[in-house]
Amino acid sequence: MNKRDTGSGPNVGEAFRPPAAPLPAWLPTRQRNRLPLAVYRESGAFFLTIATAYRRPWFADAVIAQHCIAELQSSCETHRFGLLAYCFMPDHLHVLVSTEGGSDLVRLIHGFKQKTAWWFKNREAAGGLKASPTSGSPTVPRLWQKSYYDHVLRKDEDIAAIVRYIVENPVRAGLVTSLDEYPHRWNAYGVLEAV
């Protein structure tokens, strides 16, 4: 018989109940890290940065980068987003997407991260896509850092400048001297393809 059955001991649910009275105004409160969800369903363009867990350089492995590129393309198509540009740096991803409305950016990113993390965990845990990632070893590394950075582009922002920022990243970081040398980047505008 456990404590709950005997009626003795504290009720665990009490620890998660909100306080009966409002908290004092002088106590610090946590700021929201996201805009209202409706913003992510409106038409527009979104610039995102998604980091790997502990900033590990997973995308230096071409197999991982190529799998994630294919999944990003598929996820954008599934969730009705236009993929405008991306660059998989060794430890993070920059991506620019757009929608005419009715699509959900939060669902897009959640789905993309979930599918790629599942594949990655299986690959790392089992050396192939065989085992369930929920049954793996606790030492299996994670692919993604929790959350991501997002920027909703204003109407007056120059999309070409953001695309240029994304595709020039490998050169600025000193990974290559010419963009032709870096395979894990692409843009729909043909910006700086031969730089």
- E strands, the chain, where? 44-51, 82-88, 92-99, 149-152, 185-187
Above 50 in pLDDT, residue 160?
Answer: yes
Confidence band (pLDDT; 50, 70, 90) for 22?
A: low
Confidence band (pLDDT; 50, 70, 90) for 20?
A: low
Confidence band (pLDDT; 50, 70, 90) for 1?
A: very low
Does residue 93 contact residue 86 with C-beta atoms inside 8 Å? yes
DSSP letter at 189?
Answer: T
The torsion angles phi and psi of 3, rounded to 5 degrees, stand at -60, -35
Listed in sequence order, the residues at least 6 apart from 193 whose beta carbon sits closer than 8 Å to its beta carbon are: 179, 187
The widest CA-to-CA distance across the chain, in whole angstroms, is 74
Does residue 166 contact residue 187 with C-beta atoms inside 8 Å? yes
Distance, in Å, from the CA atom of 84 to the CA atom of 186, rounded to the nearest integer, reads 8
Above 70 in pLDDT, residue 176?
Answer: yes
DSSP letter at 2?
Answer: -
- E strands, 58-170, where? 82-88, 92-99, 149-152
Query: What is the tens place of the pLDDT at every residue in 38-62?
Result: 777 788 999 999 999 999 999 999 9
Kindly report the pTM of this predicted structure: 0.75
